[in-house]
Amino acid sequence: MLWLGILCAVLGITVVILLVKIVLLHRAGDEIHSQFVEKLENDTNTLILLSTRDRYMCRLAEEINVQLRELRAQRRRFQQGDYELKEAVTNISHDLRTPLTAICGYLDLLEQEEISETAGRYLAVIKERSETLKQLTEELFRYSVITSVHRDANEEDIILNHVLEESISAYYAALKNSRIEPQISIPEEKIRRRLDKKSVSRIFSNIINNALKYSDGDLHIMLREDGEIIFSNHASRLNEIQVGRLFDRFYTVEAADKSTGLGLSIAKILTEQMHGKISARYNDGVLSIHVRF
């Protein structure tokens, strides 16, 4: 009986020790989990620290710390490379703006001179190419400004109905020249939001400009009462893979396209800066871009 009592006591002590061990391991696991999530969400230089001395949990924490150091190093390299790219784009586009403006000015003066018909045709081609290059440079500069610095949005109370109508009106001539008669559906109820009006106008303009490039001849614009704006058109030249990349910066469907491929990328950045959502879908040959604020 004595041995049985001793055995029970030993087993009891063992169970208690194991329970304490399990509790400590559970606590250490919670510490690792909570600290790991915090380190990922907040870019700090701190590492995971444990209150336990368990060598296995400490080894696990150290391995995670090694990966955290590597992740931070990669993030810094990416941020530095991204920063340098944006700085280069800003500087190049800025340096090109002044001489291009001067070139266009001299071309305007040259048009006023008496020149031969052949020289006039050459001059028209040069001017067209110069204007295209100037527009591309301006678009690059605007993109670099939007992405290189933190912008404080000039938020104000706006009516989405009015901003959308103004954006469509601004493209009336371009749509008419492309033989596109937009089908517009805007509710009578005023959809109010607190947003940066200039940014919203830029978003709508860039989306309409995209429709001018890829539409088969139609454009449907609908503002829903919940604040979602849908731009849709038939686009037989596109496919699902291309549509999936429309928001990628510098992406153009055709290499010869006279654009930087930044229009929808800028629209996406501006939308997200105002905590909105933008997406593109492609079904049965119809491209639809959805914007929600």
**154-192: per-residue pLDDT in tens?**
889 999 999 999 999 999 999 998 999 999 999 999 999
User: Which amino acid, 95?
Assistant: D
Q: Which domain holds residue 252?
A: 155-292
Query: 145 and 194, same structural domain?
Result: no
Q: Which of 98, 129, 149 is the last residue in one of the domains?
A: 149
Query: 197 and 96, same structural domain?
Result: no
| Strand partners for 283 | 286
Q: Which of 149, 176, 200 is the last residue in one of the domains?
A: 149
Query: 117 and 49, same structural domain?
Result: yes
Q: Which two tokens stand for residue 2?
A: 């004595």
Query: 137 and 19, same structural domain?
Result: yes
Query: 171 and 139, same structural domain?
Result: no
Whole-angstrom distance, CA of residue 248 vs CA of residue 261? 8
Looking at residue 219, the DSSP 8-state letter turns out to be -
Name every residue whose Cβ is closer than 8 Å to that of residue 160 and which is 6 or more positions away in sequence: 191, 192, 193, 200, 223, 227, 229, 293
Number of domains making up the chain: 2
Per mean pLDDT, which range of 13-17, 90-94, 98-102, 268-272 is the poorest? 90-94
Whole-angstrom distance, CA of residue 232 vs CA of residue 230? 6
Query: 185 and 106, same structural domain?
Result: no
Average pLDDT for 130-137: 81
Distances (CA, A) of 8 to 17, 32, 53: 14, 36, 29
Q: Which of 134, 149, 164 is the last residue in one of the domains?
A: 149
Judged against a pLDDT cut of 90, whether residue 288 lies above it is answered with yes
The size of the chain, in residues, is 293
Confidence tier at 207 by pLDDT (50, 70, 90): very high
Whole-prediction pTM value?
0.64
Query: 241 and 126, same structural domain?
Result: no
Whole-angstrom distance, CA of residue 221 vs CA of residue 217? 14
Per mean pLDDT, which range of 137-146, 156-165, 181-190, 250-259 is the poorest? 250-259
Query: 166 and 140, same structural domain?
Result: no
Residue 258 pLDDT: 61
* Residues 244, 236 contacting (CB under 8 angstroms): no
Query: 226 and 135, same structural domain?
Result: no
Distance from the Cα of residue 185 to its chain's centroid: 27
Q: Domain of 174: which CATH number?
A: 3.30.565.10
Query: 281 and 190, same structural domain?
Result: yes
Query: 145 and 4, same structural domain?
Result: yes
Residue 189 pLDDT: 94
Q: Which two tokens stand for residue 22?
A: 């399990």
